[in-house]
Amino acid sequence: MKTKLFAEIQPVAHGWLAVGNGHQLYWQASGNPQGMPVVWLHGGPGSSASPLHRRFFDPALFWIIQYDQRGCGRSLPVGAIEHNETSYLIADIESLREHLSIPRWGVVGGSWGGALALLYAQAHPDRVNRMLCRSPFLCTQAEIENFMEHPPEGCREPWEALQAQVPKHSQQTVLEFGYRVFCLEKDVQKQAQLAQAWATYEAAMNVYPMQAPTIGLGSPDALISRYRVQSHYLWHRCFVGQSILEQAHRMSDIPLTLVHGDRDALCPFENSYDIQRAAPQANLIRVAGGGHDLTDAEMLSATFQALTSWR
C-alpha cells in the first residue's frame, strides 16, 4: 500500500538569520506555532530544504522548522565555502533555535543531515528531546572513497562518465579534481560540465538498487554551488575528528530512531550498527532491500511511520 504523507503546506513564517562572517541562513517554519517543535536537517553536503520533508509531520501537531545550511539553497552567499565548516553548522543550528525562542526540539536528519544531527545532539543534548536519523552518514574516509571511487556495478556507467571528466594524463582522483575545479578554479564551463556528471552519478547512487530515472537535475549555477560545497566538505573529510561518535555518551538520554536501507550505496547500513553500539538506546528500523532514496516506497513508509509515532 502506498504511504500517503500529509498534504502539502506552505510556510507561515520565514526569514534570513545572520550567523557571522557574511553568512545568512534562510529558514522557514510551517504548521502549528504552538505545536511540538521539530527541525529537519537536510542532506548533502550542498543540498537544501525540501517541501517534501515537512509533509512527514501533522501540521496541526508540529511546528516544523527547515533551513538551508551555509552556502546552500537560498542561504547567502550561495555556494560560499569560506567560514563554512562543520563546527559552524552545529553552531548555526543552535543559533536558529535561539532565534526562534524554542527551548527544546525534535531533530531529524537524513544522510549528511544525520551526521549533523548526531554531532548537534552530542554538543547540545539538553536541547534535543528526541531524534531520528535516516540513512546516516558517518563521515569516514572509507565512506567517502567508496562513494567517489568504488560504485556498485549498477552505478558504474555514470561513474565512468564522471571519471572521464578527469584529464587522462592526470594522477588526480575524482574528488581531488572536483575540489580543484569547484573550489580553486574559475572556469564556469568546466564547472558546469563536471557538476552535471557528478549530479547524474549521485542520483544513480541515491536510488540504487533501483535504476535512476531520467529527471532534470537543476540549473547549472545551482549545481555548481551544490558541488562546490560538497567537494569542499568531502575533500576535508567533513571537518570531523577521529569519529563522529566520540562523545556518544552525551546523548544517551535522547530517544533515538535509526531508519536505514540495507542496500544503501551511499551510506552503508553498517553505519547504523555502529551508532547503535555507541548509543544502545537507539531503535534501528532495517528497511530490507532498501537503498538511500527517501522517496523509495519502503523507506518513505518506514520514516513516516517512525515520525507519526512522535506525539
**DSSP code of residue 154:** G
Q: Residue 295: what are its φ and ψ, rounded to 5°?
A: -85, -5
Catalytic choice (30, 48, 135, 264): 264
Question: Distance between CA 287 and CA 259 in Å, rounded?
Answer: 7
Answer yes or no: 111 catalytic.
yes
From the candidates 111, 135, 225, 231, give the one annotated as an active-site residue.
111
Cβ pair 253, 226 in contact under 8 A = no
Q: Which residues contact 224 (CB under 8 A, 6 or more apart)?
A: 79, 182, 188, 191, 192, 195
Give me 142's grid cell: 572509507
C-alpha to C-alpha distance for 147 and 210, rounded to whole angstroms: 17
**Of 225, 292, 293, 296, which is the active-site residue?**
292
Give the residues across from 26 on adjacent strands.
Answer: 16
Name which of 298, 302, 279 is nearest 290 in CA terms.
Answer: 298
- Known catalytic residue: 292? yes
Q: Are 42 and 72 in contact (CB under 8 A)?
A: yes
The answer to whether residues 108 and 129 touch, using CB atoms and an 8 Å cutoff, is no
The three-class DSSP label of residue 26 is strand
Q: Is 99 a catalytic residue?
A: no
Using CA atoms, how far apart are residues 91 and 95, in angstroms rounded to an integer? 6
Q: Which residue stretches of the chain are H helix?
A: 51-54, 86-99, 112-123, 141-149, 156-163, 174-179, 188-207, 220-235, 270-278, 297-308
Beta bridge partners of 120: none
How is residue 68 annotated by DSSP? P
Q: How many CB atoms sit inside 10 A of residue 125's CB?
A: 16
Q: Of 28, 54, 37, whose CA–CA distance to 104 is shortest? A: 37
Catalytic residues: 111, 264, 292
